[in-house]
Copies of this chain bind each other. A is one copy, B any other.
Amino acid sequence: MSGPRFEPVRTVRAYERIVEQVEEAIESGALSPGQRLPSERDLMGQFSVSRSTVREALRVLQARGLVRSRPGDPNGAEVLPFSPDALQRSMASLARVEGLSLGELVQFRMVLDGSANLLAARLRTPGQLAEMEAAIERMREAVTRGYDEFSAADLAFHDAVARASGNKLIQICVEVVRSIVLGLVADRLADAPDREALMRRSIRHHEEVLAAVRDGDGPLAARLARRTMYDYYAGYVPAAERPALRALLDQPHSAPE
Protein backbone atom coordinates (compact mmCIF):
# COMPACT_ATOMS: atom_id res chain seq x y z
CA MET A 1 0.00 0.00 0.00
CA SER A 2 2.54 2.53 1.09
CA GLY A 3 5.57 3.25 -1.00
CA PRO A 4 8.89 4.28 0.42
CA ARG A 5 8.60 6.35 3.58
CA PHE A 6 9.48 9.91 2.66
CA GLU A 7 10.57 12.26 5.38
CA PRO A 8 9.44 15.85 5.31
CA VAL A 9 12.28 18.01 4.11
CA ARG A 10 13.08 21.03 6.14
CA THR A 11 15.23 23.61 4.51
CA VAL A 12 18.14 24.12 6.79
CA ARG A 13 19.93 27.40 6.80
CA ALA A 14 23.65 27.72 6.66
CA TYR A 15 23.99 29.44 10.00
CA GLU A 16 22.02 26.64 11.64
CA ARG A 17 24.53 24.10 10.47
CA ILE A 18 27.26 26.16 12.04
CA VAL A 19 25.33 26.43 15.29
CA GLU A 20 24.83 22.69 15.34
CA GLN A 21 28.49 21.95 14.78
CA VAL A 22 29.73 24.33 17.45
CA GLU A 23 27.03 23.25 19.88
CA GLU A 24 27.97 19.65 19.36
CA ALA A 25 31.63 20.44 19.92
CA ILE A 26 30.84 22.19 23.18
CA GLU A 27 28.43 19.62 24.56
CA SER A 28 30.69 16.75 23.62
CA GLY A 29 33.53 18.40 25.45
CA ALA A 30 35.70 18.92 22.37
CA LEU A 31 35.48 22.59 23.26
CA SER A 32 35.62 23.29 26.96
CA PRO A 33 34.84 26.49 28.85
CA GLY A 34 37.57 29.09 28.62
CA GLN A 35 38.74 27.95 25.24
CA ARG A 36 38.45 30.30 22.33
CA LEU A 37 36.78 29.93 18.99
CA PRO A 38 38.69 31.05 15.91
CA SER A 39 38.02 34.61 14.85
CA GLU A 40 35.01 35.31 12.70
CA ARG A 41 37.25 35.80 9.71
CA ASP A 42 38.86 32.43 10.29
CA LEU A 43 35.50 30.76 10.74
CA MET A 44 34.20 32.07 7.43
CA GLY A 45 37.08 30.21 5.86
CA GLN A 46 36.56 27.01 7.81
CA PHE A 47 32.83 26.89 7.12
CA SER A 48 33.06 28.37 3.63
CA VAL A 49 30.43 30.96 4.30
CA SER A 50 30.37 34.71 4.50
CA ARG A 51 31.03 36.59 7.64
CA SER A 52 27.39 37.60 7.99
CA THR A 53 26.44 33.96 8.21
CA VAL A 54 29.15 33.24 10.75
CA ARG A 55 27.98 36.18 12.80
CA GLU A 56 24.35 35.08 12.78
CA ALA A 57 25.44 31.69 14.03
CA LEU A 58 27.51 33.32 16.77
CA ARG A 59 24.54 35.47 17.77
CA VAL A 60 22.44 32.36 18.24
CA LEU A 61 25.16 30.62 20.23
CA GLN A 62 25.51 33.72 22.34
CA ALA A 63 21.75 33.92 22.90
CA ARG A 64 21.91 30.35 24.16
CA GLY A 65 24.61 31.31 26.60
CA LEU A 66 27.27 29.06 25.10
CA VAL A 67 29.79 31.66 23.98
CA ARG A 68 30.57 35.30 24.53
CA SER A 69 32.37 37.70 22.25
CA ARG A 70 33.98 40.95 23.09
CA PRO A 71 35.05 43.61 20.60
CA GLY A 72 38.75 44.03 20.26
CA ASP A 73 39.59 40.72 21.84
CA PRO A 74 42.54 39.39 19.87
CA ASN A 75 41.19 35.89 20.33
CA GLY A 76 37.84 34.78 19.07
CA ALA A 77 34.67 34.18 21.04
CA GLU A 78 35.08 32.54 24.43
CA VAL A 79 33.35 29.30 25.28
CA LEU A 80 31.41 29.84 28.48
CA PRO A 81 30.83 27.43 31.32
CA PHE A 82 27.20 26.47 31.61
CA SER A 83 25.17 29.09 33.31
CA PRO A 84 21.48 29.00 34.06
CA ASP A 85 21.11 32.44 32.53
CA ALA A 86 19.41 31.16 29.43
CA LEU A 87 17.17 28.94 31.52
CA GLN A 88 16.37 31.85 33.73
CA ARG A 89 15.53 34.14 30.87
CA SER A 90 13.23 31.55 29.33
CA MET A 91 11.45 31.15 32.62
CA ALA A 92 11.26 34.86 33.26
CA SER A 93 9.88 35.36 29.78
CA LEU A 94 7.46 32.54 30.42
CA ALA A 95 6.39 34.22 33.61
CA ARG A 96 5.55 37.43 31.80
CA VAL A 97 4.12 36.11 28.56
CA GLU A 98 2.05 33.36 30.13
CA GLY A 99 1.05 35.66 32.91
CA LEU A 100 2.45 33.48 35.65
CA SER A 101 1.13 34.80 38.90
CA LEU A 102 3.24 35.39 41.97
CA GLY A 103 1.17 32.68 43.61
CA GLU A 104 2.24 30.09 41.09
CA LEU A 105 5.87 31.07 41.45
CA VAL A 106 5.78 30.91 45.21
CA GLN A 107 3.94 27.62 45.04
CA PHE A 108 6.63 26.25 42.79
CA ARG A 109 9.29 27.39 45.19
CA MET A 110 7.44 25.70 48.03
CA VAL A 111 7.47 22.46 46.07
CA LEU A 112 11.14 22.67 45.15
CA ASP A 113 12.40 23.96 48.46
CA GLY A 114 10.35 21.40 50.34
CA SER A 115 11.76 18.57 48.27
CA ALA A 116 15.26 19.94 48.55
CA ASN A 117 14.97 19.92 52.32
CA LEU A 118 13.47 16.46 52.32
CA LEU A 119 16.45 15.14 50.43
CA ALA A 120 18.99 17.27 52.24
CA ALA A 121 17.86 15.89 55.57
CA ARG A 122 18.97 12.45 54.43
CA LEU A 123 21.99 13.25 52.34
CA ARG A 124 23.62 16.30 53.89
CA THR A 125 27.27 16.10 54.88
CA PRO A 126 28.62 17.71 58.05
CA GLY A 127 30.29 20.34 55.89
CA GLN A 128 27.00 21.29 54.30
CA LEU A 129 25.37 21.51 57.72
CA ALA A 130 28.12 23.92 58.72
CA GLU A 131 27.44 26.02 55.64
CA MET A 132 23.77 26.25 56.55
CA GLU A 133 24.63 27.29 60.08
CA ALA A 134 27.05 29.90 58.79
CA ALA A 135 24.39 31.25 56.45
CA ILE A 136 21.91 31.63 59.30
CA GLU A 137 24.58 33.37 61.35
CA ARG A 138 25.07 35.79 58.47
CA MET A 139 21.33 36.37 58.41
CA ARG A 140 21.42 37.27 62.10
CA GLU A 141 24.21 39.76 61.55
CA ALA A 142 22.43 41.19 58.53
CA VAL A 143 19.30 42.16 60.44
CA THR A 144 20.93 45.43 61.41
CA ARG A 145 22.81 45.82 58.15
CA GLY A 146 20.06 46.11 55.63
CA TYR A 147 17.88 43.99 53.46
CA ASP A 148 20.35 43.31 50.68
CA GLU A 149 22.76 41.53 52.94
CA PHE A 150 19.95 39.60 54.56
CA SER A 151 18.71 38.46 51.20
CA ALA A 152 22.20 37.34 50.19
CA ALA A 153 22.56 35.27 53.35
CA ASP A 154 19.12 33.80 52.82
CA LEU A 155 20.17 32.83 49.32
CA ALA A 156 23.28 31.17 50.72
CA PHE A 157 21.16 29.07 53.05
CA HIS A 158 18.75 27.89 50.41
CA ASP A 159 21.58 27.22 48.02
CA ALA A 160 23.39 25.10 50.60
CA VAL A 161 20.21 23.09 51.13
CA ALA A 162 19.70 22.70 47.41
CA ARG A 163 23.26 21.50 46.93
CA ALA A 164 22.86 19.08 49.80
CA SER A 165 19.85 17.60 48.06
CA GLY A 166 22.28 16.10 45.57
CA ASN A 167 20.10 17.11 42.64
CA LYS A 168 21.60 19.77 40.41
CA LEU A 169 18.34 20.28 38.58
CA ILE A 170 16.56 21.15 41.80
CA GLN A 171 19.43 23.39 42.74
CA ILE A 172 19.31 25.34 39.50
CA CYS A 173 15.54 25.64 39.41
CA VAL A 174 15.43 26.85 42.98
CA GLU A 175 17.89 29.57 42.11
CA VAL A 176 16.12 30.55 38.90
CA VAL A 177 12.66 30.78 40.41
CA ARG A 178 13.97 32.52 43.46
CA SER A 179 15.48 35.32 41.44
CA ILE A 180 12.26 35.75 39.48
CA VAL A 181 10.19 35.94 42.64
CA LEU A 182 12.61 38.42 44.15
CA GLY A 183 12.43 40.50 41.01
CA LEU A 184 8.69 40.80 41.60
CA VAL A 185 8.66 41.59 45.30
CA ALA A 186 12.17 42.68 46.30
CA ASP A 187 11.20 46.33 46.55
CA ARG A 188 8.18 45.57 48.68
CA LEU A 189 10.23 43.37 51.00
CA ALA A 190 12.98 45.95 51.29
CA ASP A 191 10.54 48.76 52.09
CA ALA A 192 8.26 46.87 54.45
CA PRO A 193 7.78 48.91 57.62
CA ASP A 194 7.99 45.82 59.81
CA ARG A 195 11.02 44.66 57.89
CA GLU A 196 13.09 43.88 60.96
CA ALA A 197 10.37 41.80 62.59
CA LEU A 198 9.95 39.87 59.33
CA MET A 199 13.64 39.12 59.23
CA ARG A 200 13.74 37.92 62.81
CA ARG A 201 10.77 35.64 62.27
CA SER A 202 12.34 34.31 59.10
CA ILE A 203 15.55 33.54 60.95
CA ARG A 204 13.62 31.65 63.61
CA HIS A 205 11.92 29.61 60.92
CA HIS A 206 15.20 28.86 59.23
CA GLU A 207 16.62 27.65 62.51
CA GLU A 208 13.74 25.22 62.86
CA VAL A 209 14.28 23.95 59.34
CA LEU A 210 17.97 23.51 59.99
CA ALA A 211 17.26 21.57 63.18
CA ALA A 212 15.05 19.16 61.25
CA VAL A 213 17.68 18.74 58.57
CA ARG A 214 20.30 18.11 61.21
CA ASP A 215 18.06 15.50 62.85
CA GLY A 216 17.56 13.79 59.52
CA ASP A 217 13.80 14.26 59.70
CA GLY A 218 13.12 14.91 56.04
CA PRO A 219 9.33 15.16 56.08
CA LEU A 220 9.48 17.62 58.96
CA ALA A 221 12.15 19.69 57.25
CA ALA A 222 10.08 19.74 54.08
CA ARG A 223 6.96 20.81 55.92
CA LEU A 224 8.75 23.54 57.83
CA ALA A 225 10.44 24.78 54.70
CA ARG A 226 7.14 25.08 52.87
CA ARG A 227 5.61 26.91 55.81
CA THR A 228 8.58 29.25 56.07
CA MET A 229 8.19 30.13 52.43
CA TYR A 230 4.45 30.61 52.84
CA ASP A 231 4.78 32.86 55.85
CA TYR A 232 7.38 34.98 54.14
CA TYR A 233 5.55 35.58 50.89
CA ALA A 234 1.85 34.97 51.53
CA GLY A 235 1.32 38.62 52.36
CA TYR A 236 2.24 39.57 48.83
CA VAL A 237 0.11 36.92 47.18
CA PRO A 238 -3.47 37.88 46.35
CA ALA A 239 -5.83 36.35 48.88
CA ALA A 240 -7.61 34.40 46.17
CA GLU A 241 -4.46 32.45 45.40
CA ARG A 242 -3.51 31.62 48.97
CA PRO A 243 -5.67 28.52 49.34
CA ALA A 244 -3.69 26.87 46.56
CA LEU A 245 -0.52 27.59 48.51
CA ARG A 246 -1.98 26.28 51.72
CA ALA A 247 -2.83 23.06 49.93
CA LEU A 248 0.88 22.33 50.11
CA LEU A 249 1.11 22.97 53.82
CA ASP A 250 -0.98 20.28 55.51
CA GLN A 251 0.56 16.99 54.61
CA PRO A 252 -1.37 14.74 57.03
CA HIS A 253 -3.95 12.64 55.23
CA SER A 254 -7.00 13.85 57.05
CA ALA A 255 -6.57 17.41 55.89
CA PRO A 256 -9.93 19.11 56.27
CA GLU A 257 -9.25 22.07 53.94
Given that A56-B55, A111-B115, A118-B248 are contacting pairs, would A84 and B94 also be in contact in the complex, using a CB cutoff of 8 Å? yes
Residue of B nearest to A27 (CB): B96
Tell whether A167 pairs with B118 under 8 Å between CB atoms, given A59-B60, A60-B59, A251-B219. no
A residues 204-257 touching B (CB-CB < 8 Å): 216-220, 244, 247-248, 251-253, 255, 257
Do A248 and B107 have beta carbons less than 8 Å apart?
Answer: no
Q: In the complex, how many angstroms separate the beta carbon of A24 from the nearest chain B beta carbon?
A: 10
Tell me if A166 is interfacial: C-beta within 8 Å of chain B.
yes
Known contacts: A90-B90, A97-B27. The answer to whether A169 contacts B219 by CB under 8 A is no
Name the B residues within 8 Å of A11 (CB-CB).
71
Q: Give the residues in chain B near A255, CB-CB below 8 Å.
A: 218-219
B247 touches A123 (CB 8 A): yes
Q: Which A residues, 45 to 84, have Cβ-Cβ distances below 8 Å to chain B? A: 52, 55-56, 59-60, 62-66, 71, 82, 84
Nearest chain B CB to A227's CB is how many angstroms away?
15
A251/B251 in contact, CB under 8 A: yes
Q: Is A182 an interface residue (CB 8 A)?
A: no
A253 touches B105 (CB 8 A): no
Q: A177: which B residues are within 8 A, CB to CB?
A: 169
Q: How far is the CB of A145 from chain B (nearest CB, A)?
A: 16
Known: A82-B98, A87-B94, A119-B244. A111 touches B56 (CB 8 A): no
Contact of A244 among B166, B173, B216, B257 (CB under 8 A): B166
Is A150 engaged at the interface, CB distance under 8 Å to the other chain?
A: no
A247 in complex: contacting residue of B26, B111, B218, CB < 8 Å: B218
Q: Find chain B residues with CB under 8 A from A84 CB.
A: 90, 94
Complex contact A252–B219 (CB within 8 A): yes
28 A-B contacts (beta carbon < 8 Å): A11-B71, A27-B93, A63-B64, A64-B90, A64-B93, A65-B90, A82-B93, A87-B90, A87-B94, A91-B169, A94-B172, A100-B169, A104-B167, A107-B167, A107-B169, A107-B170, A108-B170, A111-B115, A118-B247, A119-B244, A119-B248, A122-B257, A173-B173, A216-B257, A217-B253, A218-B255, A219-B253, A251-B251
Q: Which 10 A-B pairs have the closest CB atoms?
A: A63-B63, A87-B90, A111-B115, A82-B97, A27-B96, A86-B90, A60-B63, A59-B59, A108-B169, A56-B59
